[in-house]
Amino acid sequence: MVRPILYRLADCPNSSLCRRLFLPPLLSPLLRDVPFVSSEFPTPSCAAFPLQFVRTDQQLSFSSSFRTGASYQPLGFPQESSLGGTKQPGVKSKKRDISAQFAPGASFPAQMADLMESEDFFHQAVTEERRPGDPSGAKDDVSRLSPAIGIDLGTSYSRVAVWHEGEIKLVPLDENNNTEIPSCVGLGGSPDDSPGENILIGWPAFQLLPQGRAIHRARRIVGRVDTDESLQLGARFWPFLVQLPGIGIRPVIALKKGDRWESVNAEEVLALQLHYLRRAAERFLGRDVSDAVLTSPAAFTRFQCGRLAAAAAAAGLRVRRIVAEPNAVGLLYAAQEKQRESARRKGTGRSEAAGGAGKSDRGKGTGAPGEQKESGRGKETEGPKSDEKESEDKEKNVLVFHLGSGYCSVGIVCIDDGVSQSRAIAGAAFGTDDFVNNLVARALTDPRTRAPAPDAPTDRKTLFWLWQTYREAMVQLSESEFVDLPEDPALGKTLSRAEFEESNEGLFRACVDMVTRCLADARLKPREVQEVHLLGGGVRINKLEVRKGREYDDELVKGAALEAAIAGGVPGVDTGLLLLQGINHPLGIKVEGDVFQPILSRNALIPTSRELIFTTIKDNQEQAIIQFYEGEQPVVEQNVFLGCLQVAPLPRARAGFPKIIVCLDVDAGDALRAHARVEMPPGDYEDPPGPLPEPLVVKLPSVDVGHGWCKEALRIKYGTSADVRLYETAPTGVRKKDA
Amino acid sequence: MSIHQVESQHSAECWSCGSAHGDDTLFFCNQCGAIQAASDTADYFQLLGVEPTFMVNLPVIEGKYKALQRKLHPDMYATKQKVEQDFSADQSSLVNKAYATLVNPLSRAIYLLRLRGIEAGDGEEGTMSDFELLSEVMEIREAIEEAEDIGGLQKLHQENAEKMRQSGAAFAAALQAGELQQALEWVHRMTYWDRIDKEITRKL
Ligand SMILES: [Zn+2]
């Protein structure tokens, strides 16, 4: 059984467990009355999510129920789990093996180019060759029977789960049946520059980190620019090459190949990881996998999500949904609560049918796919009043706090009878890595002058070693007030908890601020939050040794797998389960004076859309450039540029006359589309205003190099000549009053 | 307004079985149960099936909202026809907007006025000519600026919430009495309380 991830305040009277996660002591004044409830996850009584694992001494192995039917193939992992070079045994797939296209020794980018080019081929292969290749699925409902997989491509660890044979299963990712592997990509093979090297993923790559022959934490880099302060601070301590010239470009990263640096980019690294994970899922399921639901930190911008989706596409995966971390946890929890509830009802002898609306739960594995699904919908019935009361009582507000190694995500979800509704979400681009960064930075600073210590080490290897030492020390601080550090001139003698907390005061404060903001956004008082769920991977990344058979943070990937099954209409999934997600950051456009005009607000539940009317700022303005941004800042420059629409030619008219109608539309899959059209209000025109530009629709983000240059370039080229402002519809009420 | 709505106007008949819609057809065909195009006439109260008053029962709205999304959300239509998926996307989006509007007191008040043909802005800006109120708002702003600890801010926050509640009640009374001009003025007040609320939470 999976070890519980949530901590009960009662479980840790001396708050040692809380210390482990750092946060409860900080959050507890804020959430004074809230029990840090945990439930065992999953509970032994929870029939919906039995995990088919048996724990042996060193690793997890599968119980007898591990069968995948006719297409089952024994797991055959090559010795080095390589992507390139060697042929992978044990994969019974008639389609051409994509990895076979990698020529041994070909350079990284060239291999990626191959991978990208092979995309068309790949999708073709999946659709054309599945039928002969897959004995079990022959008809159109193949896609229905083969749900998307859930992937948690974490900053430090990756996991895959899938709805399979009526339950959520974690996918073994390497020859040791580890269900989580480090998010590392490395170049293996001979240390000299001779051909025959392999791309390594996971643990084998992890071993190469200290030598600079592997990349980790690509998710921290993806979609960010070299001016990013947090990257600037943290990248010094990475063992591979990171160059941040600070000019607004994508960070240059490279790994060691022989004695040279081979440059890669974060998307490529993510694509290689995703490809590996996809292949592991295919092995496990014995079928092709083409769709995935990914989790993302709440802080991820749409630009970053877009880069993630591009990496997935390069790995042959279509992204069905990107689920923000707190929502993934919320959905899984909602499902488990519902399961518990129905188990309880059965236990007390009450008929489940008494539930009424929304009780289309037909349990798992009871067969009859699709029938109740039809009857559950299509009728516009609402439960009788008594039902509403009941569901009201069951409603639970749950605060999810996830401090990973690269990102921190906070969310409040409302759990009610299988539905998880997002009430508020907040995220920040820091994680436990940054806590360590601060410790190392402090160690390298002369305490008196506050300048870098003169004898501070500068070489990559030593810095990485220092960083790892402090990371280890940070974990030990969970259990003791002081930690003795190894003897080294660059280190002090000990590290105390007080020092740790002092170095990271700002980050602690930011954690609390996020919770406060979520509570305010959700319009909830702390005591209205019934439960707090804490999870975080940062604290466990510390030991360098391979730790087999230990699982944490599985909820994220299980939630993603569950959402994949729900959104894919997989038979056997409780149709009463539903995830209602919101928008993570406000979306809007730039208006006159470099002001950000939000159109869709943070936490608006999706799908949603809203239109606002804008107009010209100059007489006879020839065109309008609608610039789309995402972010919280009133000054548009400080937000993330998503793309622009050129609305031209505008009809000749006085300033403030043409109506430029801009609509932002976010669908259930969180895809954002911008619509723009022009209307002329009726009136007497001296000159006929001329034809109107055709309505436009564009999917955002529409730029693939955000990087701040686009807004600068737009400013240089157009100045304010294509700006817009809000169209003034004088409130009728006000006019009445004046009259 | 989404792209789908342009393509598929709300018609008087079910697209699937052809039977005529009843007066109360909002989401599904009365005959065959198929999902229909989003209504372009129903107001948000009708969509959520609650009385068009200011004093709504929030838990009821929450319940109705979730019950609707269970049936309308695009996740539930993954294996259905394209036309149903499009309708589901529009319907789900519309219900989300209805819910968001009604669940917040200020936007609910503004919407109630809009249903009566009075435009009170979008709650983001208001014009104010009541000097007494203006100076009150100024004072509160100063108090927020000067508040030094969380406790002080929380007190202001509570006071403000109480003002919002009172203005809301006054608005509801004015609306019921048909005093629309008065109701509009209460909405202006609520706009200020809402803004102050945001300012305080930003500092909290
Ligand atoms: Zn019909």
Q: Mutate which of A394, A734, A737 to test chain B, going by most B C-beta atoms within 10 A?
A: A734
Q: A572, A162 in Cβ contact below 8 A? A: no
Position B134 scores a pLDDT of 80
CB contact under 8 A, A578 and B34: no
> Which chain A residues are closer than 8 Å to B121 by Cβ?
731
pLDDT at residue number B10 = 57
ipTM summary value? 0.89
Average of per-residue pLDDT across B36-40: 90
Residues B95 and B36 in one domain: yes
Q: Check CB contact under 8 Å for A733 and B28.
A: no
Q: Is A244 helix (H, G, I), strand (E, B) or coil?
A: coil
Ligand 1 centroid from CA A388, angstroms:
28
Residues B165 and B88 in one domain: no
**Quick check: A606 and B96 CB within 8 A?**
yes
Per residue in B82-122, pLDDT (tens digit) is 999 999 999 999 999 999 999 999 999 999 999 998 888 76
Question: Is residue B113 situated within a structural domain?
Answer: no
Contact between A43 and A336 under an 8 Å Cβ cutoff? The reply is yes
Per-residue pLDDT tens for A27-65?
545 554 444 433 222 222 222 222 122 222 222 222 222
To the nearest whole angstrom, how far is the Cα of A509 from the nearest Cα of chain B?
Answer: 12
- Separation of A591 CA from ligand 1 center, angstroms? 46
Contact A159, A557 (CB under 8 A): yes
What does the pLDDT average to over A454-482? 82
The verdict on pTM exceeding 0.90 is no
In a domain, B116, yes or no: no
Q: Which pLDDT value is given to residue A705?
A: 64
In a domain, B97, yes or no: yes
* pLDDT reported for residue A55: 23
Q: Are B99 and B136 found together in one domain?
A: no
Cα distance between residue B63 and residue A412, in whole Å: 18
pLDDT at A146: 64
Do B85 and B13 share a structural domain? yes
Tell how far the Cα of A379 is from the centroid of ligand 1, in angstroms. 11
Distance CA A492, CA A514 (A): 33
- Tens digit of pLDDT for each residue in B70-90? 999 999 998 899 999 999 999
Decide if A325 contacts A411 (C-beta within 8 A). Answer: yes
Closest listed residue to residue A296, CA positions, set A221, A238, A219, A243: A219
Residues A380-392: tens digit of each pLDDT? 333 333 444 444 4
Q: Is residue B110 part of a domain?
A: no
Asked if residue B60 is part of any domain, the answer here is yes
Residue A704 clears pLDDT 80, i.e. is over it? no
pLDDT of residue A615 exceeding 60, the answer is: yes
User: Does the beta carbon of A497 lie under 8 angstroms from any beta carbon of chain B?
Assistant: no
| Residue B159 covered by a domain | yes
Closest-CA distance of chain B to residue A303, Å = 23
Structure tokens at B75: 């996740």
Cα-flanking dihedrals φ and ψ of residue A645, to 5°?
-125, 130
C-alpha count within 13 angstroms, C-beta hemisphere, residue A515: 25
A358-367, A396-405, A726-735: range with highest mean pLDDT: A396-405
- Asked if B110 and B120 touch (Cβ cutoff 8 Å), the reply is yes
Give the confidence band of A591 by pLDDT, cuts at 50, 70, 90.
very high
Give how many domains chain B has, as a whole number.
Answer: 2
| B19 Cα: distance to centroid of ligand 1 (angstroms) | 6
* B53, B74, B103 - which closes a domain: B103
Look at residue B13 and tell me if it is in a domain. Answer: yes
Of the candidates A609, A733, A737, the beta carbon closest to that of B1 is on: A609
Q: Residue B204 is nearest to which of A417, A516, A575, comparing CB atoms?
A: A516
Query: Which chain B residues are closer than 8 Å to A732 by Cβ?
Result: 117-119
Among A84-88, A262-266, A622-626, the minimum mean pLDDT is found in A84-88
Q: How confident is the model over A420-445, as pLDDT tens digits? A: 999 999 999 998 889 889 988 888 88
- Collect all residues of chain B within an 8 Å Cβ-Cβ radius of residue A576: 70
- Whether A372 and chain B come into contact, CB under 8 Å, resolves to no
User: What is the enclosing helix (H) or strand (E) of A644?
Assistant: strand A640-647
Ligand 1 centroid to B18 CA: how many Å? 6
Contact B63 A391 (CB under 8 A): yes
CB B115 within 8 A of CB B46: no
How many angstroms is it from B17 CA to the middle of ligand 1? 4
Distance from the A251 Cα atom to the nearest Cα atom in chain B, whole angstroms:
33
- Reading the block at residue A99, the tokens are 């990895």
Tell me which chain A residue has its CA closest to the CA of residue B80.
A569
| B88/B137 same-domain check | no
| Highest mean pLDDT pick, A509-518, A541-550, B170-179 | B170-179
704-733 in A: which are within 8 Å (CB) of B? 729, 731-733
Whether the per-residue pLDDT at A730 is higher than 60: the answer is no
Residues of B in contact with A669 (CB under 8 A): 74
CA–CA distances in Å: residue B17 to residues A123, A721, B12, B21: 36, 53, 12, 11
Q: How far is the CA of B31 from the centre of ligand 1 (A)?
A: 5
- Of all helices (H) and strands (E), which one includes residue B144? helix B131-146
CB contact A357 to B (< 8 Å): yes
A400 forms bridges with which residues in the sheet?
Answer: A411, A533
Same domain (yes/no): B9, B99:
yes
| Cα A638 from Cα A564, distance rounded (Å) | 34
CB A557 within 8 A of CB A161: yes
Ramachandran class of A97: left when φ > 0, alpha when ψ lies in -120 to 50, beta otherwise: beta
Residue ranges per structural domain of chain A: 587-726
Q: Quote the pLDDT of residue A537.
A: 52
| The pLDDT value given to residue A393 | 58
What average pLDDT does chain A have?
Answer: 72
Residues B143 and B199 in one domain: yes
Q: Which of B33, B63, B89 sits opposite A607 (nearest CB)?
A: B89
The pLDDT confidence band at residue A20, using thresholds 50, 70 and 90, is very low
DSSP state letter for B20: B
For A161-173, letters b (16+ CB in 10 Å) and e give bbbbbbbbbbbbb
DSSP one-letter code for A730: -
Q: What is the CATH number of the domain that holds B69?
A: 1.10.287.110
In 10 A of CB B155, how many CB atoms?
Answer: 13
Q: Which of A388, A611, A731 sits opposite B120 (nearest CB)?
A: A731
Residue labelled with tokens 């600079």: A212
Percent of chain A with pLDDT over 70: 67
- Rounded to a whole number of angstroms, the distance from the CA of A732 to the nearest CA of chain B is 5
Average pLDDT over residues A484-505: 81
Q: How confident is the model at residue A19 (pLDDT cuts 50, 70, 90)?
A: very low
pLDDT of A151 higher than 90: yes
CA distances A376 to A243, A335, A380, A567, B94, Å, are: 56, 18, 10, 16, 21
Q: Quick one: closest CA in A to B187, which residue? A: A733
Whether the CB of A145 is below 8 Å from some CB of chain B: the reply is: no
The domain A587-726: what is its CATH number? 2.60.34.10
Phi and psi (nearest 5°) for A331?
-65, -45
Say yes or no to pLDDT of A480 above 80: no
Q: Find the closest chain A residue to B199 by CA distance.
A: A520
The pLDDT of residue B8 is 47
Q: Domain span at residue B180?
A: 122-203
- In angstroms, the first-to-last Cα distance of chain B is 36
A421–B66: do the CB atoms touch at under 8 Å? yes
Q: Are B82 and B127 within one domain?
A: no
Q: Alpha-carbon torsion A330, A333, A335, A341, what sign? A: negative
Query: How far does residue B92's CA lie from ligand 1's centre (Å)?
Result: 19
Q: Say if B108 falls within a structural domain.
A: no
Closest residue by Cα to residue A74 from A281, A284, A278, A276: A284
Chain A nearest C-alpha distance from B139 (Å): 23
Q: What is the mean pLDDT of residues B137-165?
A: 86
Of B60, B96, B113, the CB nearest to A605: B96
Q: Are residues B178 and B135 in the same domain?
A: yes
The distance of A726 to chain B (nearest Cα, Å) reads 12
